């Protein structure tokens, strides 16, 4: 896709203050889209990073809307989409990237941690899908969910994997139900990416340091496939999850210890 392939289009990337979401936002901006950045925590380093990214994308000549919203709250999500409607009056791409979960076995999660796991990583994405529909239906828009290998491989410290599996099913189901509105829905399942959340995962998964460096995925490699799924060349792909893991998933069974 060329530098103007997303000209006059609007992309919302949830959780785009840093990491993979920030890389996706930059990728769409470089392709000509105007961008809605979103983050959760006001007043901290996340907001500062989001503001820096806003300035960077503005310098590229794109319009940027920076919206603090917690996707786990339906009221907050409604406010997010209301603001997009008011300021941009359209939405072409909804990239469901925001995620947060504690790193410990699922049976050790406290009740509030379990509720938050489901509220952020399942309900939050569905709130966003529901509220995006009027604008996506008008634009014949695209939804891309960011999944991870936890959707298909066991990791004791990764309860988020169960939500990723559930969301991959939601992607398949919504692809069917929303196709009559002209909305396409797909997902990208990323391998391991060295973002802030990786630093925490590393503390609970010692073997990760044994992996050769070329098995780690760059945020930009995920962003490229997200952009592809929003373009004309992917029009035949519906309800699929495309794995971008540099082949890590092909050999994961070798890492199991007795």
Ligand X SMILES: NC(=O)c1ccc[n+]([C@@H]2O[C@H](COP(=O)([O-])OP(=O)(O)OC[C@H]3O[C@@H](n4cnc5c(N)ncnc54)[C@H](OP(=O)(O)O)[C@@H]3O)[C@@H](O)[C@H]2O)c1
List the beta bridge partners of residue 65: 36
x-or-dash pattern for ligand X, window 199-238, by CB under 6 A? ----------------------------------------
For the bound state, the minimum distance from the C-beta of residue 140 to ligand X, rounded and expressed in Å, comes to 25
In the complex with ligand X, the residue whose CB is nearer, 95 or 133, is 95
Stretch that binds ligand X, among 54-62, 86-94, 103-111, 191-199 (CB under 6 A): 191-199
| 74, 130, 158, 204: the active-site residue | 158
Is residue 74 a contact point for ligand X (CB under 6 A)? no
For the bound state, the minimum distance from the C-beta of residue 4 to ligand X, rounded and expressed in Å, comes to 27
Q: In the annotation, is 164 catalytic?
A: yes
| Interface residue with ligand X, options 9, 19, 221, 239 (CB under 6 A) | 19
Is residue 9 a contact point for ligand X (CB under 6 A)? no
Is residue 161 a contact point for ligand X (CB under 6 A)? no
Q: Rg (Cα) of the chain, in Å, rounded?
A: 18
Is residue 197 a contact point for ligand X (CB under 6 A)? yes
Q: Which residues bind ligand X (CB under 6 A)?
A: 14-15, 17-21, 38-41, 46, 70-72, 97-100, 120, 124, 146, 148, 190, 192-193, 195-198
As annotated, the active-site residues are: 158, 164
């Amino acid at each position: 896709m060329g530098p103007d392939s997303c000209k006059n289009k609007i992309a919302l990337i949830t959780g785009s203050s840093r990491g993979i979401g920030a890389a996706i936002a930059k990728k769409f901006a470089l392709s000509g889209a105007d961008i809605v950045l979103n983050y959760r925590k006001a007043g901290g380093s996340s907001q500062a990073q989001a503001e820096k990214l806003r300035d960077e994308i503005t310098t590229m000549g794109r319009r940027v809307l920076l919206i603090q919203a917690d996707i786990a709250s339906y009221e907050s999500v409604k406010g997010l989409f209301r603001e997009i409607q008011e300021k941009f009056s359209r939405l072409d791409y909804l990239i469901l990237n925001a995620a947060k979960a504690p790193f410990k076995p699922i049976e050790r999660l406290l009740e509030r941690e379990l509720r938050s796991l489901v509220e952020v990583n399942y309900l939050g994405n569905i709130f966003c899908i529901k509220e995006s529909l009027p604008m996506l239906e008008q634009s014949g828009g695209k939804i891309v969910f960011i999944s991870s290998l936890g959707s298909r491989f066991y990791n004791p410290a990764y309860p988020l994997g169960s939500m990723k599996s559930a969301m991959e099913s939601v992607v398949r189901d919504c692809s069917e139900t929303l196709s009559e509105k002209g909305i396409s829905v797909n997902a990208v399942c990323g391998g391991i990416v060295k973002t802030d959340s990786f630093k925490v995962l590393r503390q609970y998964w010692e073997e990760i340091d044994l992996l050769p460096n070329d098995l780690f995925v760059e945020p930009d490699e995920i962003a490229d496939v997200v952009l592809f799924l929003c373009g004309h060349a992917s029009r035949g792909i519906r309800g699929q999850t495309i794995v971008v893991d540099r082949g890590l998933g092909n050999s994961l069974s070798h890492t199991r210890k007795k």
